[in-house]
Chain A
Amino acid sequence: MPKKTTFLSILLLTLFFLCHSGKISAQDYGTLRGYVTDSTSSEALAFCSAVIKELMIGATTDVRGYFMIPSVPANKNFTLIVSYVGYRSKRINVRISKDKVTQFNIELSSSSIEMQTIDRIEKRLIEKNVTDISLQRIAIRDLESLPKGVETDVFRSIKYLPGVQSTGDVSAQYYVRGGASNQNLVMIDGITIYNPFHALGLFSVIDPDMINNIEFYKGGFSAEYGGRLSSVMQINTKDGNKNSFGAKASGSLLSGKLLLEGPIPDGSFIITGRKSYSNDIIKKFLNDQTIPLDFYDFSFKLNYSNPDFIQGSKFLINGFSSADNILHNDPRIEDYKWSNNVFGFKWFQVGDSPLFYDLGISVSDFHGQVMPKLSSARATDNQVDDVGLQMNFTYMFDSKDEIALGFHIKQIKTDLYLENSKGIPVNLGSQAANIVFYAKYKLMQLDFFGLDAGVRTNLTTLSRNPQASLLEPRASFTLQVIPEIKFKGAVGIYQQEMITVSDENEVINIFEPWIISPPYLTPSKAVHYILGLDTEPFNNINFTVESYYKKVNNLPLLNESKILPTDPDFVAGTGESYGVEFFTRISPSPINFTASYTYAYAYKELNGLLYYPRYDIRQTFNTALEIDLGKGWSTSAVWTYNSGLPFTQLIGYYDKYYFQDIFASWDQLDPRAPYTILSIQNLGRLPDYHRLDLTLSKKLKIDTYTIDLDFSIINVYNRKNIFYFKRDTGERVNMLPFLPTATVKVSL
């Protein structure tokens, strides 16, 4: 184990004990715990602000809608103000019992003014020392206000965030701070989804109607998250309406959707389903290629909370299933199938003490197949079975410090059957267990300084490579210099043992097969260094700068030099990326304006050759303007600019020998056809990319029905952004052209 890692771990533990011993007396104090929900649906509201007016102290709700404010003077009356964007703020009188946790359930009513903002002073009070560098909290209404393209799509929407790169309009795959797409962890209610894409990566499998909120870490994530090198996306789904039954139906040019929700005794349910019914729009994405694609996704969630059963408990059962099929009638063309199935059970418990804990059991599987039939395609069959058990505990001290501990156990089995270089089927799969214990301490007692320090300990590793890291220490801090300016930073070590057998040079791929990192490869490990500045010089104006440096060792790359079957399928390279991101938000009601600029570099190195990966974009500029026009009308415009993507230049062609018929006599045919000779990898740059999208939305209420109409135009000025050159014909393939789309949603 590296000495540096050991030293960091000891330092973190020492810090924990020092901080723990410093807790303040709770003699005349109590703890206020709040649970904030929507008054209509009783859906938990994440990221709300709660402030005790007289004390000028507060907290933000977590993804479950809970907040805690410790050390509140007991037996005194205070005014608690709870506010959230799009909801009417609520003031309630609170009185806290001594040495106890006093819980208040607060319901907020949706405001008719859609873009109502909360008082920034409140937010500043709450977030003065919150350690949230590189964390984006996204509510579903944030996604819905952006131009939809075909449909609202989580992955397409996050591409507007600074530090998130995309290689074009066509794919929903995203790249975070110079990391490959397989370095991004996507979880739905804490369960990993291995292939979260429909339709060759064009759309995400996550139906936005089921999303309550999203937490997206672009780096520097804390110890409870692991298994990926670059980013974490935690998607928290809705519980369903606890008060009344409801239904939503919507249709776009791509798919039809249905959502049902309603109360059950001591709980609620929600069911969503989406099915593709037209491939016309997909042709626009795929250079007018017709694909017999068919997909669906389905999800459900049941929750049960009965104080007579277990006080303060909540039980959740959720499931998710998605499947894509490309089935051809013609036996000479191969078929494709891929699917995700997820099932989870969670028990969440709050008690009389300021302790939260949860126990979760999860199953996630992915199955992808290429069935060649009579074609010359290589058969592929990938199966991932991931069974997990999670226990998480969070305790808040009176000093506002928090300690969090957890066990995560994963048993993963992968099978990957494919043909080796001699055409003989082989299985690259294996199975192993990853047992992780994590502990972290959040130092929040100092008003001007917050620290989140923890360590993730791998008690067993998936790859069974002796060089695998056992410890992954991480820390992030926030230092408030003056109320308007905060410095933030993070550092951490991250390890990834699940890898994809994907070719980074594929701009469109069917799916990425997953396997456990083979034992001959040391698992890849990344170090993140992040430093940032967050300032709010005026009310409704926010400006942040973040710079990052990420170094990845033992990056598994497909062995392009593999000749013999005994040659390894992967070789280890290194990766390095750094950049600076600027973001500003100006939001005087009814306008919300955001702009971001990223200047970044990304490199990979293999066998002494340094090259830019395909997603190395030097400059990115995104700007979005949303205006609430009143009377149910709203509009938004988004303009995106990227400097050119790297590409490998051609240096010529040669006539390559092909085996049309190895039995044919040598003079019967000329078996040669042109083949492209490439220059040094990714040394050229494509022209710059830019695109303007517009959306106009109208919300109508007719009787008990709510109708949402959206009309969007993608690529308003029909910019011909190049996607790639077909090397065999020289044809230039562009990205999305001028494309008007519309969606209709009817809610009951």
Chain B
Amino acid sequence: MKKIFYLAAVFSVFIIFSSCNENLDPYGTFKDIYVLNCIVRGDSTFQSATLTHDYTTTSFNPYSNTTDESIKGATIRIWSGNDKVTILRDTTIPRPAGSLYQSPYSVYYSNNFQPDPGLPITIEAILPNGRKLTCSSVVPEDLEINDHENLIPPTGRNYLKYSWISNQKNPVYITRLGIYYFKIENGQKVRHIAVVPQSYTQYNNQWIPVYTKPFSENALAVDMSLVAKTMELISSGDDNKSNYIILGCILEVLSLDPGLSLYYNATARSGDIYSVKLDETDNTNIQGGYGLFGVYNRNYSVGFFTHDYINSFGYIPGLEEGK
């Protein structure tokens, strides 16, 4: 028995001394990777793109990096169909609040390019070192909103009804129904948008909106109770209802190209909160690098509230009725 205890003692000493915390460097060999992001708007002549480089950090926390790795001096071209082409210019703008970096936001832009629906579109970025990043897609077809609400609330129905026609194959849409209004702040009219969600749910005495997800159907119905709840929430906690001037209601329908819809789903949706996945698949469609090139078309329909409806909330109508 003594021998066993001696052996156990020696063994214990060995393992205690071998129990130190081993350090690990999780980094492999760094590789130069260039990242091009560009989302072309089909309803605009203004287009922009960003071009950056990958980086490492001395700590393992990527948020500790404070240097913007934007690349300047590249040539970025976009062409659509056979005859439309633009070269995006390199510039900087003040960085939006909450950005990771303090330096100005480096972007490439063009203000005279609008792609044609249904035609192929390609982006090409030639870097100062000669590397080339490219991607091609097809501009989504225009759609026609053929059934919409001119006057809200509609008569005989307690929901808003919209539908549209499109030649797009395998379409994916994202919609937003927004109530546009002014709020008088310090004597000035400040424009706001209150988005009507798909539904509301109450938690901890707060109304939490549930927004629409991408979908493929060519129609949308919105219950008037959601519009009413959104109207109520516009002035939640503010007794001075006359500070609010209601303008109208706009439905925006974005039709996404395949690359953008896949990317949107991959990044806007998440896995569950408890699963721990180590090797996440990245979603990128840029040849020669990483990033995203996508195109969407925006169509919209304007509706007007009746003055009675606006007044019922204590608000001020901002437009003539029916216009």
Contacts and interface: CB of A to CB of B under 8 A. Distances in A.
Interface of A: 200, 286, 289, 291, 326, 329-334, 336, 370, 373-378, 419, 421-424, 503, 505-510, 560, 563-565, 591, 614, 625, 627, 637, 639, 647-659, 662-663, 666-670, 672-681, 683-684, 686-688, 690, 692, 717-720, 722, 724-725, 727-732
Nearest to B178: A663
A729 B27 CA distance: 14
A507 B279 CA distance: 10
A264 to B, nearest CB: 43
Residue of A378, A508, A677, A680 ringed by the most chain B CB atoms within 10 A = A677
A654 B267 contact: no
Contact of B172 (A329, A422, A658): A422
Nearest to B97: A669
A667 B272 CA distance: 31
B124 interface: no
B19 A718 contact: yes
Residue of A289, A653, A666, A724 ringed by the most chain B CB atoms within 10 A = A666
A729 B63 contact: yes
Contacts of A719: 19, 21
Interface in B84-100: 93, 95-96, 98-100
Given A662-B174, A677-B33, A717-B16, A422 B261 contact: yes
A424 B22 contact: no
Contacts of A564: 258, 262
Contacts of A674: 62-63, 65, 100
24 contacts: A326-B274, A377-B272, A377-B273, A421-B266, A423-B172, A508-B276, A625-B8, A649-B28, A662-B264, A663-B252, A667-B93, A667-B105, A669-B98, A672-B37, A674-B100, A675-B282, A684-B28, A690-B19, A717-B19, A722-B24, A724-B276, A727-B278, A730-B62, A731-B61
Interface residues of B, number: 85
Contacts of B28: 649-651, 679-680, 683-684
Contacts of B6: none
A410 to B, nearest CB: 30
Given A374-B208, A649-B26, A334 B272 contact: yes
Contacts, number: 227
Contacts of B203: 329-332
B15 A724 contact: no
Interface string B265-292: 1111111111111111111010000111
B167 interface: no
A675 B55 CA distance: 10
Contacts of A503: 277
A654 B274 contact: no
Nearest to A669: B96
Contacts of A506: 275-278
B274 A508 contact: yes
The dominant DSSP class at the A interface is loop
B196 to A, nearest CB: 13
B74 to A, nearest CB: 16
Contacts of A374: 201, 208, 210
B62 A717 contact: no
Contacts of B276: 506-508, 724
B174 to A, nearest CB: 6
A332 B60 contact: no
Nearest to A717: B19
Contacts of A507: 276-278
Interface string B45-67: 00010101111110111110100
A672 B170 CA distance: 28
B116 interface: no
B214 A422 contact: yes
A670 B96 CA distance: 6
B31 to A, nearest CB: 5
A692 B15 contact: yes
Instruction: State the 8 A-B residue pairs at the shortest beta-carbon distance, nearest first.
Output: A730-B60, A649-B28, A674-B62, A679-B28, A687-B22, A505-B279, A730-B61, A720-B21
B18 interface: yes
B241 interface: no
Given A655-B100, A662-B174, A650 B27 contact: yes
A655 to B, nearest CB: 6
Nearest to B202: A331
Interface in B1-36: 4, 8, 11, 15-16, 18-19, 21-24, 26-31, 33, 35
Given A507-B277, A653-B65, A656-B290, 16 more contacts: A326-B274, A374-B210, A510-B272, A510-B275, A564-B258, A565-B170, A649-B26, A651-B30, A654-B53, A656-B35, A670-B96, A683-B28, A692-B15, A729-B60, A730-B59, A731-B61
A657 B54 contact: no
A681 B279 contact: yes
Contacts of A686: 24
A59 B35 CA distance: 70
